[in-house]
Structure 1
Amino acid sequence: MLRLGGLNSISLIQIRRLSSFPLLFPSLPTPPSFSSSFSSSMAAAAALPPPPLAKKVKHEMEMFGDVRSDDYYWLRDDSRSDPDVLSHLKKENDYTDLVMAGVKSFEDELYTEIRGRIQEDDISAPTRKGQYYYYKRTLKGKEYVQYCRRLVTNESSVSVYDIMPMGPEAPAEHVILDENIKAQEYDYYSIGAFKVSPDNNLVAYAEDTKGNEIYTIHVINAENGSAVGKPLVGALTSYLEWAGNDTLVYVTMDAILRPDKVWLHKLSSDQSSDHCLYHEEDEMFSLALYASESKQYLFVSSDSKNTNFIFYLEISKQEAVLMPLTTRVYGIDSSASHRGNHFFIKRRSEEYYNSELVACPVDGVSEVTVLLPHRESVKIQDIQLFNDHIVVCEREGGLPKLTVYDLPTASEAIGRLQGGREISFIDPIYSAELEESQFSSKIVRFSYSSMRMPPSMYDYDMDMHISVLKKTETVLGGFDASNYVTERQWAVASDGTRVPISLLYRKNLARLDGSDPLLLYGYGSYEVCIDPSFVASRLSLVDRGFIYAIAHIRGGGEMGRQWYENGKLLKKRNTFTDFITCAEYLVENKYCSKEKLCINGRSAGGLLIGAVLNMRPDLFKAAVAGVPFVDVVTTMLDPSIPLTTSEWEEWGDPRQREYYFYMKSYSPVDNVKSQNYPKILVTAGLNDPRVMYSEPAKFVAKMREMKTDDNVLLFKCELGAGHFSKSGRFEKLKEAAFTYAFILKALDMIPPVSSL
């Protein structure tokens, strides 16, 4: 697990659906002024009660002769049930509601606008598995999805033109699972893994009903929904695989939520009798589980931030014994797959830091053949194997690219890959990712979007070299991609490093003379790539004249492995100075001014926001820090907190003097100063296992104590959610509407301007 997340694009949990409503200011060439409203809002501000102040309880921590005082340490409550803590959080929420009450009607209008861009009744691009098409359906007015399937009527091999039959003559749609029904009795509901058995008769799915990312696995009959056996508790959602039609392999976590054990479960047995395939006792390492595209092998990897080693399990043998594939050597990091008589391994080291691709015989794993050598300017990010092809996802110049290579037959010798065909894309900056495809097919599926082009699914015929569009996300409300401009700029850091910036703006509203409002997003950790993808909710800012920008700062992975290495451990400050450099570049080049510059980051990106607010508060008008990781030293000194031990290789181990003082130099809680700060919104989730709610709570409390300005500082803690906010698709849009309402208020861009 990582401290990640965002309104932007990473990863794992994201709803990229949006709505449409008539633009508030459809024909205005410049943002409107509300000076009269502003005057009345100042009077309203004087009438507001003071913000809640957390009580101070003396607490000192000493390390290396250095004493840190933390008068708000009492806000940490591992049980999340302390009455004083809950009372304080509720007071913060009440104060936030009170301050934002003046624009509640606008916030509601904004939410209606965002939601109105969604085609609420829709289906995902179907995926064919055996005799069925599988897909997800959303229903009008419903928060959650249905998992559905239809029988295949055309038994011919899957082709790029394969289309699921629809209409009255098509096979009936079968709803396997309806999240809307399951979620009725919970405030929070999320399904993670959803795995269909090889014979299509059963489904295993993992559900979280609290937002704490601890999942329960259920197995049901795919046809009638009846339960098969008892649920499996304490699981990690991402790591669940079938090993035949009657066996599951899954991963559980220890007390600090570190994935430490992988289990084999027979459906006819109780969880207490499950066989532990491997127990990782080293607190620096966490387990991962995945299946080969051929579905003949399962791989278990034990990973730290710099090192991993891999075992494999041959499914057909059912011996329940893991065999070693790679060895544990510090600095060597690998991932594996299988095809024919060979394992394919992508591996990285200090020598080949952008990874190389090799193959080894199944019956002789030490005999390695290099298929793609290491290249300084090209990072191998992922691969997808097929019977006759391999698709390699690479990164070059800060952007992904997909390259297809032909493979020799299983009986032919395997050697260096030659003559790859790169799939071409439309926009100058974009996002492209490999999607699940059938191993026996000649079709690879990939997703594509850009900051102005909605997400689309394509099937690419690797023999015919053609792409066919299978599905484009519908954006209602008269959306026209040609009305928007995307571009890439490069800011130059003080050490000469060129930092890419992705930009989106509406071409008939942006003046690019310094008077435009701008929202700058950043992350910069864990080697995560924040690619310039489409998020429809941004239109509610961009259509009001905003420029939306992403700073691809060091600590992320956009520019290759070294980009990450130069923004972690004792080089972490590069992440923050890169962001400041990007902000200064945008001001100097008239994309905005300091008075119109807003910033946003989430989780580890919230650390970024907290750090730059302490370093350069004069540079920004407003800031949003979502579930921010801001108490770095205290957290990383406490191995009882989830993620700490596994992340010493990301941030450093402050039990060592050098790392302690370096972390302290940027940790936001430890660097709040007596100075003016911009307008700030901070959010948290009470059940968050990645960033404890107490970190942002302490940050806000200390900032309220020390800041010298009258700018608003708001704290909103979701009491029934975790790291990724609320679970419903519309509830998530409400969070976006609230955040955007705060930003627009901060810039006096909505009537009436209230008390910000």
Structure 2
Amino acid sequence: MTRSPTAPAATKVPTERTHHGDTFTDDYEWLRDKDSQQVLDHLHAENAYTEAVTADQAPLREAIFNEIKHRTVETDLSVPARRGSYWWFARTIEGEQHPVFCRVPAEETQSSSSLSAWTPPQIEPGVALQGEEVYFDTNAEAAAHGFYDIGGLSTDDAGTLLAYAEDTTGDEFFTLRFRDLGTAENLSETVENVHGGAILDAAGERAFYMVADASWRPHRLYEHRLGSSADQDRLLLQIDDEQLWSFPYLSADKKELLLYSGNSEYNETRILDLTDDDAEMVLLVGKEHRLEHNIEPLDLDGTRQLLITHNQDGQNKSVSLTTIEALTRQATGSEQQRGQPDRGTLDLGTTVLGHEETVKLDDSVVVTAAQILVQARVNTIQSVYLLPLETVRAARDGAAAVATSSLSGPSFDAEMFTVELADAEYEAPVFRVQFTSWLIPSRIYDIAHEEPTPILRRETPVNDVDLDDYRALRLWAPTGERWVDGSAIEVPITVLHHKDVRADGTNPTLVFGYGSYEMSMDPAFGIPRLSLLDRGVVFAIAHVRGGGELGRKWYDHGKKLAKINTFTDFITATDHLVEAGWADPARVAAHGGSAGGLLMGAVANMAPEKYVAIVAQVPFVDTLTSILDPDLPLSALEWEEWGNPITDPEVYGYMKSYSPYENVVDAEYPAIAAVTSLHDTRVLYVEPAKWVPKLREHQQGEAPIVLKIEMEGGHGGASGRYEKWKDRAWDYAFISYYLGAVEPR
């Protein structure tokens, strides 16, 4: 008789935490010290236990991995994008983990503004073009490291200099390097501990980058002059407010650098004139106005203007036209006077696009020399709309605002899809979008500004699959609640299934969810998902409150003191799938990651009987402990998402009522896999490492609870596409095994 593996026994070391008169005893807080050999030994023991418990799933994992690998065209390429005098693109090579970045000179026989000059060259996988050169081989750079990730690639306009940032541990602290693209040699200068990538100015003389504080919050903006050492870099600005996350971006014509500093509810914006070497950052809109906004400069008839996308007129946002001078006049005042909220309504100039209850504008617009490109969401669908400069001029001259819903845009023959801007060079006669749906692989279209008919450049190929074998549909699950206008609150559910599957109440079903930060689970094709559909699994996406699928209101009703709506919506969606016949109530699994991992932890406590298996990736399950410590990565920034339990006893009590780690009870929990990475800086490994032994302590059933930890990865797991496929195969094998859906139908 084979003995079942024995789970590692985590030592209990009681630690007390007291807030607002409430004391919580944490037995596993000692696992936070990842430099401790005792902790590392425990984590290795957890991995060994997980491997033993899931050994029977190894053939299934291998089968799913091979299906993903076989369906993926491994030697492939992206559509070349023109910048300056080159076409830039990436290749993938069979057997290699990472992309290879290439370029080829553009023909200069035509006017650079002609459509023919912006028609990309035809490239074949595995066949080099005449004049093609590799300017960055990620595989060669990664060869000496167990983990390798690029924080960004930036080139100057002439294509002579490359700035890139690399992370070799997974902790997302990057080293900034510079490469002479003429000689293919790196310059001697480097900058350590950069947050993300860098931005090169048009001339390639300056690089702008952020540095994070001890809590991994980007707070310092530096200017590096090429040819100098990092210790000479100029500090342009330091943001001390612990609730503001900062990042720089260039204006469309690269004349200014702007700095966004904000959170999910408000931000402030500064601007730097790049035509003046001695210029300083200038405040345009301060945080005291509590305005959520984004600013894009543009030239309009020789006058510098600003397009500001904002929520002053309504939560779904509007677009107004103003000037730097108009905003700076309202931003005066000493730093000591600034920071107090609600200092009055700002004069944001003339409204160009008015607020609509049924249209949610994206955070910003995209400026080109030909027109303004607007991304907006209507009835869950994200697409692109075209705002003529004539309409902007008319608004400037006194005309009434127009509605985004009245604008034209490229049309596509699909019901549920996503269209996003992929490229929009300022002077180009075309812009590029990416189209995808649940069952259509990514397509790249170029669209001429003068004639917005999409020109298909490429559809991502998929090997040996007939996509007509699959179906996608939308359900709406009633919550029993109503909005203030009396209309019913219903949770949208996307259902994906094989065409042979019927709503007969017998189907194994996986319910996926996220529901935080206004992030939408938009239609997108995924090869790994096909392996589940082929096994008869119904793949359902619950678009719960806290996401952005139905506009800002949908998000606001799933955060702070309404966060529990996210969890109840997921359970409501699960019940509706059963009632509609799509799910066998005895064969339902759940899957989510990061904040979606919090969702998994919450539903495991609230309704463990509804699921046979749960996979929680990098799960935010020790929510209250993390948010109570402003020195932990991202914690202070999160107060606008969850509330501040340090100062507000109501928030503390509310968060304690749902924080998964603190609400584990004696119950028959389903099989649970917590998947994490040792070097994750966003959701620390310690959260699932503590959660797992506590779940085992209270488990009243026989289902296993395991911790799988990547010892050389970050928030996204291991690096390299093959490793990521293996990770996804592991998750789906765990789910399929407990759903009883091991063999393809």
When the two structures are superposed, what TM-score results if normalisation uses the length of structure 1? 0.90
Pairwise CA distance, 1:462:
2.5
**1:374 is matched with which residue?**
355
Query: Match of 2:639?
Result: 648
In structure 1, the partner of 2:106 is 152
* Residue 346 (structure 1) shift: 3.6
Could you tell me whether the CA contact under 8 Å between 1:484 and 1:505 is conserved in 2? yes
Give the 5 Å matches for 1:694-713.
Answer: 694-713=686-705
**Residues 226-305 of structure 1 aligned to structure 2 (within 5 Å):** 226-238=185-197, 240-242=199-201, 244-305=203-264
How far off is 1:243 after superposition?
A: 5.5
Listed as ranges, the matches of 1:171-210 within 5 Å are 171-210=130-169
Query: Are residues 1:162 and 2:119 paired?
Result: yes
For 1:52-131, list aligned pairs within 5 A. 52-77=8-33, 80-131=34-85
Letter in 2 for 1:81: D
| Per-residue CA distance 1:188-218 (angstroms, 9 max, x = gap) | 0011210111221101011111111111111
The correspondence for 1:135, drawn from 89, 93, 101, is 89
Match of 1:675 in 2: 667
Paired residues, number:
704
2:389 corresponds, among 376, 385, 407, to 407
Greater Cα offset, 350-359 or 709-718? 350-359
- Please tell me whether residue 354 in structure 1 is matched to residue 316 in structure 2: yes
- What is the distance in 2 between the residues matched to 1:342 and 1:399? 33
- Indicate the larger mover: 393-402 or 358-367: 358-367
Which residue pairs with 1:337 in the alignment? 296
1:735 to 697, 705, 727: 727
Partner of 2:414: 427
Measure, in 2, the Cα distance between the counterparts of 1:708 and 1:169.
Answer: 61
Which residue is equivalent to 2:485? none
Asked whether the equivalents of residues 277 and 320 of structure 1 are also in contact (C-alpha less than 8 Å), the reply is no
Specify whether residues 674 and 426 from structure 1 end up closer, same or farther in structure 2 by C-alpha distance, changes over 3 A only. Answer: same
Match of 2:285 in 1: 326
Check conservation: 1:389, 1:442, Cα contact below 8 A. Answer: no
Matched, 1:483 2:483: no
- Name the counterpart of 1:18: none
Q: 1:511 aligns with which of 502, 512, 531?
A: 502
In structure 1, C-alpha distance between the alignment counterparts of 2:261 and 2:120, rounded to whole Å: 40
For structure 1, which segment, 398-407 or 677-686, has the greater mean C-alpha deviation from structure 2 after superposition?
398-407
Alpha-carbon distance in structure 1 between the residues aligned to 2:348 and 2:66: 60
Shift of 1:750: 2.7
Check if 1:445 corresponds to 2:432.
yes
> Tell me, what secondary structure is at the counterpart of 1:116?
helix
CA distance in 1, matches of 2:412, 2:266: 34
Aligned residue identity for 1:458: Y
Contact 1:683 1:717 in 2 (8 A): yes
TM-score of the pair, normalised by structure 2: 0.91
Whole-Å separation in 2 of the counterparts to 1:321 and 1:679:
57
SS of 1:435's equivalent in the other structure is strand
Deviations 1:488-520 (A, max 9, x none): 11111131311111121111x212111111111
Matched, 1:622 2:613: yes
Distance in 2, Cα, partners of 1:170 & 1:585: 54
Aligned residue type for 2:703: N
C-alpha distance in 2, partners of 1:548/1:409? Answer: 44
Letter in 2 for 1:358: S
Aligned to 2:630: 639
CA contact (8 A) 1:241 1:291 kept: no
Structure 2 partner of 1:17:
none
Does residue 675 of structure 2 align to residue 720 of structure 1? no
Distance 1:581 1:559 in 2: 17
Q: Counterpart of 1:213 in structure 2: which amino acid?
A: E
| Higher RCO structure, 1 or 2 (CA under 8 Å, sep 6+) | 1
Deviations 1:33-89 (A, max 9, x none): xxxxxxxxxx65xx2222112111122222222221111111111xx2211111111
Is the 2:352–2:392 Cα contact (8 Å) retained in structure 1?
no
Aligned CA distance change for structure 1 residues 238 and 491 (closer, same or farther; 3 Å)? farther
Q: Hey, what does 2:331 align to over in structure 1? A: none
Are 1:385 and 2:341 counterparts?
Answer: no
Could you say which residue in structure 2 is the equivalent of 1:27? none
Q: Any unmatched runs of 5+ in structure 2?
A: 328-346, 483-488
Does the 8 Å CA contact 2:164/2:198 hold for their aligned counterparts? Answer: no
Alpha-carbon distance in 1 for matches of 2:555, 2:632? 24
Q: Which amino acid aligns with 2:115?
A: S
Instruction: Quote the offset at 1:155 in angstroms.
Output: 3.5
CA distance in 2, matches of 1:99, 1:391: 52
**Which deviates more from structure 2 when the two are superposed, residues 524-533 or residues 146-155?**
146-155
CA contact (8 A) 1:525 1:567 kept: yes
8 Å CA contact retained: 2:177, 2:190: yes
Separation in 2 of the partners of 1:657 and 1:727? 41
Distance 1:349 1:434, change over 3 A: same
Name the CA distance, whole Å, in 1 between partners of 2:466 and 2:257: 45
Moved more, 425-434 or 621-630: 425-434
Mapped partners of 1:285, 1:107: distance in 2: 42
Whether the aligned pair in 2 keeps the contact of 1:505 and 1:545 (CA below 8 Å) is yes
Secondary structure in structure 2 of the residue aligned to 1:329: helix
User: How far 1:463 sits from its partner (Å)?
Assistant: 1.3
- SS of 1:494's equivalent in the other structure is strand
Counterpart CA distance in 1 for 2:46 and 2:156 is 47
What letter corresponds to residue 456 of structure 2 in structure 1? L
Residue 338 of structure 2 is matched in structure 1 by none
Runs of 4+ in 1 over 6 A off after TM superposition: 409-412
Residue 163 of structure 2 contacts residue 198 of structure 2 at CA under 8 Å; is this kept in 1?
no
Paired residue secondary structure (1:228): strand
1:688 aligns with 680
Q: Is the 1:292–1:299 Cα contact (8 Å) retained in structure 2?
A: yes
By how many angstroms is 1:165 displaced? Answer: 4.8
Asked if structure 2 preserves the Cα contact closer than 8 Å seen for 1:241 and 1:250, the reply is no
Tell whether the 8 Å contact from 1:264 to 1:320 is kept in structure 2 after alignment: no
1:361 Cα deviation after fit: 3.2
Checking the alignment, whether the CA contact within 8 Å between 2:317 and 2:361 is kept in structure 1 is yes
Structure 1 residues not aligned, in runs of 5+ = 1-42
Return the offset for 1:351: 4.2
Report the alpha carbon displacement of residue 162 of structure 1 after superposing the two structures with TM: 0.5
Query: Structure 1 pair 367/455, CA: closer, same or farther in 2 (3 Å)?
Result: closer
Q: Partners in 2 of 1:396 and 1:329 — Cα distance?
A: 31
Greater shift, 320-329 or 279-288, is seen at 320-329
Deviations 1:259-278 (A, max 9, x none): 10101110111111111111
Give, in whole Å, the separation in 2 of the partners of 1:276 and 1:169.
Answer: 43
Structure 2 contact 545–554 (Cα < 8 Å) conserved: yes
